[in-house]
Chains A and B, each alone.
Chain A
Amino acid sequence: MKRGTWVVVLLLLLLAAVPPLAAIFNEPFYLDLFRRIMIFAIAAASLNLILGYGGMVSFGHAAYLGIGGYAVGILSHYGIDNGVLQWLLAIGASALVACVIGAISIRTSGIYFIMITLAFTQMLYYLGVSIEEFGGDDGMRLTMKSQFGGLLDLNNATLFYYVVLAILALVALLIHRLVHSRFGMVIRAARSNEVRTHAIGFSPYGYRLVAFVISGAICGLAGALFANQTGFLTPDFMHWTRSGEIMFMVILGGIGTTAGPVLGAAVLLLLEDRLSALTAHWQIILGPFLILVVLFARRGLAGLFLREGRDG
């Protein structure tokens, strides 16, 4: 196996060891924290697909987190607790919205793309704020977690943890396979040189849009998981700072690598956890840290393990 694959397998094994360790040291808080980390790792991995491999700087990925969350919340609000339905709706609705946003945004590039994805997410945020039926600004409580008959009980914290871990592993595998398929080749080719991609007979628009939709759908699933994690959802799911955070996870971990989003989510959330225990004003430390990472650690954490231009 390549070195990149080893890093991912090692990370997943470490994550799998968290529940028994948390049980031994009687620290259930860490079970919660690491589940949160994995949910954000899924979101970051979905962003990495279009950002890292496709070169599409989406500054609005929190939108799909929100749509996934609201899909679960709204069905639950109307008394439908079937997890399969909820999660399918989360994926489907996110894919649909990503299709609309993508169809417009991908016509542009560079700075326009960044601003437009940001603006559309802000639009959805205000939509969430203004719909009183679903709690408006205050958000709404999830009456119960997604139900899967007698098969899975998400109220069992450890079981829920392993469900998230399994989904994370599947998503990582899916994205890895996708990126190394013919489809992924076109996406990556369009990123490095759009004109040549055209010249060899590919029109990148459709490929990019499909990648954008897949990315949105995966992030929607992360949103459904996140709603179950918090048991509560507000428009803040879609707040633009959350989009920034997810983006930072990808960069911090290492853009365009499979292990990167997992590493980035883990380091950022653990850092936030430590800093916020230290001081209420932890963002005054996080802000400059972010700037320093951008200025001096271009290849992210995964860059420490992986060789230049290889693996993935």
Chain B
Amino acid sequence: MNAILIIEQALNGLQLGVMLFLMAAGLTLVFGIMNLVNLAHGSLYMVGAYLATYFAQLTGSYLLGALLGLGGTLVVGMVVELIALRTLYERDHLDQVLATFGLILFFNELVAILWGRNAIYSNLPEYLTGHVELAANLFYPLYRLLIIGIGLLVAALLWYIVTQTRIGMLVRAGASNRTMVAALGINIRLLYTLVFGLGAALAGLAGLLSGPLFAVQSGMGEQILIQVFVVIVIGGIGSVRGAFAGAVIVGMVDTLGRAFLKPTLATIISPAAADSAGPALASMLIYLLMAAVLAFRPQGLFGGRSP
């Protein structure tokens, strides 16, 4: 293990972290404000990846594809909110879980019908494929750096919107007392649709950014969704700050665990045992972390505070 490898893996962890944050921010806002558990958030991630890849192939431009994909996911998100989710805000969490589970089945099958069951691949344009020399002998893929940059930028932007603008004030007010906000003459339904659209766009952004890294396929949303749940539970539901902290922690722990747990174990126990225990333990690590956090703070690290 050398320093370069560790830095490289730490950057990978940060990259996974900001990706998780893009997902978690939308999910946690939607929960904090509408009190809605949206399992179909992962479907929006998938829709973003598919639309961006599709439009990129259609137009021949990666950038244009990304923009159209982002806009498309926003529209899909708002339509889903208007048709299916709006009626669920007053229902209990059980109903919300089941109905959005139904949405997942629908979307997974829909993309399978439209684009087939096999994974499709989105190619990066020439100008994004290179490596950057961050330090002597430390080459890091430009595209992953770009993801980290975009993620941090979005985090800063969200912080600004939520804490410094009028919309953000309404969002915070809506989270603490919906009825009162409505009584003060705010169009709460419009606010809901906007917040949901924002969350959908963020999920779509995460999806289209991940397209060139992973295979774009039906069901891709659920893999990340459950990790996002872990993020939100650790960070505290409804808290954007918590989502950021949780996302970076989970991204780091997962990536570093997968990279270094096996070699570290091999120095303690026999290499053969480490070979089988390492990967198993690494894949369980974030869930164990979640259990540990809950044992001490059942409301999450930032739970019970304003978003």
Q: Which residues of A contact B (CB under 8 A)?
A: 51, 57, 59, 104, 107-108, 110-112, 114-116, 118-120, 122-123, 126-127, 129-133, 240-241, 244, 247-248, 251, 281-284, 286-291, 294-295
B87's nearest neighbour on chain A, judged by CB, is A295
Give Cα A136–Cα B93 distance, bound, in whole angstroms.
Answer: 34
Report chain B residues within 8 Å CB of A104: 291, 294-295
B95 touches A114 (CB 8 A): no
Give Cα A12–Cα B94 distance, bound, in whole angstroms.
Answer: 28
Q: Does B195 contact A (CB under 8 A)?
A: no
A126 touches B283 (CB 8 A): yes
Q: Does B98 contact A (CB under 8 A)?
A: yes
A291 touches B84 (CB 8 A): yes
Give Cα A41–Cα B291 distance, bound, in whole angstroms.
Answer: 30
Q: Does B4 contact A (CB under 8 A)?
A: no
Q: A123-B287, A240-B222, A284-B109 are in contact. Are A291 and B102 (CB under 8 A)?
A: yes
B84 CB to closest chain A CB, in angstroms? 6
A36 CB to closest chain B CB, in angstroms? 20
Give Cα A291–Cα B106 distance, bound, in whole angstroms.
Answer: 10
16 contacts between A and B (CB under 8 A): A59-B97, A112-B237, A116-B233, A118-B226, A130-B283, A131-B280, A244-B98, A247-B101, A251-B98, A281-B109, A281-B112, A286-B105, A287-B107, A290-B98, A291-B84, A295-B95
B99 touches A115 (CB 8 A): no
Greatest chain B CB density within 10 A among A111, A119, A241, A286 is at A111
A123 touches B298 (CB 8 A): no
B97 touches A120 (CB 8 A): no
Q: Does B290 contact A (CB under 8 A)?
A: yes
* Contacting residue for A287 out of B97, B106, B237, CB 8 A: B106
A126's nearest neighbour on chain B, judged by CB, is B283
> Considering the complex of A and B, which 8 residue pairs feature the smallest CB-CB distances, nearest first?
A287-B106, A290-B102, A287-B105, A123-B287, A284-B109, A126-B283, A291-B102, A283-B109
B105 touches A283 (CB 8 A): yes
Give Cα A59–Cα B233 distance, bound, in whole angstroms.
Answer: 15
Report chain A residues within 8 Å CB of B283: 123, 126-127, 129-130
Q: A57-B94, A284-B113 are in contact. Are A115 and B233 (CB under 8 A)?
A: yes
Q: A104-B294, A251-B94, A284-B113 are in contact. Are A119 and B105 (CB under 8 A)?
A: no
Q: Does B182 contact A (CB under 8 A)?
A: no
Give Cα A289–Cα B106 distance, bound, in whole angstroms.
Answer: 10
Report chain A residues within 8 Å CB of B7: none
Report chain B residues within 8 Å CB of A122: 226, 287
A88 CB to closest chain B CB, in angstroms? 25
**Chain B 282-300 against A: per-residue CB contact (8 Å), 1 yes, 0 no?**
0110011011001100110
A132 touches B276 (CB 8 A): yes
Give Cα A251–Cα B94 distance, bound, in whole angstroms.
Answer: 9
Report chain A residues within 8 Å CB of B291: 104, 120
Q: A111-B237, A114-B37 are in contact. Are A283 and B106 (CB under 8 A)?
A: yes
B104 touches A287 (CB 8 A): yes
Greatest chain A CB density within 10 A among B88, B113, B291 is at B291
Q: Is the interface of B mostly helix, strand, loop or mixed?
A: helix
Give Cα A240–Cα B101 distance, bound, in whole angstroms.
Answer: 10
Greatest chain B CB density within 10 A among A115, A120, A129, A295 is at A115
B291's nearest neighbour on chain A, judged by CB, is A104
B167 CB to closest chain A CB, in angstroms? 25
Q: Which residues of B contact A (CB under 8 A)?
A: 31, 37, 84, 87-88, 91, 93-95, 97-99, 101-110, 112-113, 222, 226, 229-230, 232-233, 237, 276, 279-280, 283-284, 287-288, 290-291, 294-295, 298-299
Give Cα A114–Cα B39 distance, bound, in whole angstroms.
Answer: 11
B234 CB to closest chain A CB, in angstroms? 10
B102's nearest neighbour on chain A, judged by CB, is A290
Give Cα A248–Cα B99 distance, bound, in whole angstroms.
Answer: 10
* Contacting residue for B102 out of A108, A115, A289, CB 8 A: A289
Give Cα A43–Cα B103 distance, bound, in whole angstroms.
Answer: 24
B109 CB to closest chain A CB, in angstroms? 4
Q: A287-B104, A294-B99 are in contact. Are A114 and B93 (CB under 8 A)?
A: yes
Give Cα A287–Cα B279 distance, bound, in whole angstroms.
Answer: 34
A115's nearest neighbour on chain B, judged by CB, is B229
A282's nearest neighbour on chain B, judged by CB, is B109
A296 CB to closest chain B CB, in angstroms? 10
Give Cα A294–Cα B59 distance, bound, in whole angstroms.
Answer: 40
A115 touches B106 (CB 8 A): no
B106 touches A284 (CB 8 A): yes
B98 touches A115 (CB 8 A): no
Greatest chain A CB density within 10 A among B84, B287, B299 is at B287
A287 touches B222 (CB 8 A): no
* Given A57-B97, A110-B93, 14 other A-B residues pairs in contact with their CB atoms under 8 A: A112-B299, A116-B290, A123-B288, A129-B283, A248-B98, A282-B109, A283-B105, A283-B109, A284-B106, A287-B102, A287-B104, A287-B107, A290-B101, A291-B103
A111 touches B37 (CB 8 A): yes
A120 touches B98 (CB 8 A): no
Report chain A residues within 8 Å CB of B284: 123, 126-127
Give Cα A283–Cα B218 distance, bound, in whole angstroms.
Answer: 12
Give Cα A286–Cα B104 distance, bound, in whole angstroms.
Answer: 11
B138 CB to closest chain A CB, in angstroms? 30
Report chain A residues within 8 Å CB of B102: 286-291, 294
B37 touches A119 (CB 8 A): no
Q: A116-B290, A116-B294, A119-B233 are in contact. Are A247 and B93 (CB under 8 A)?
A: no
Q: A115-B232, A129-B283, A283-B109 are in contact. Are A248 and B276 (CB under 8 A)?
A: no
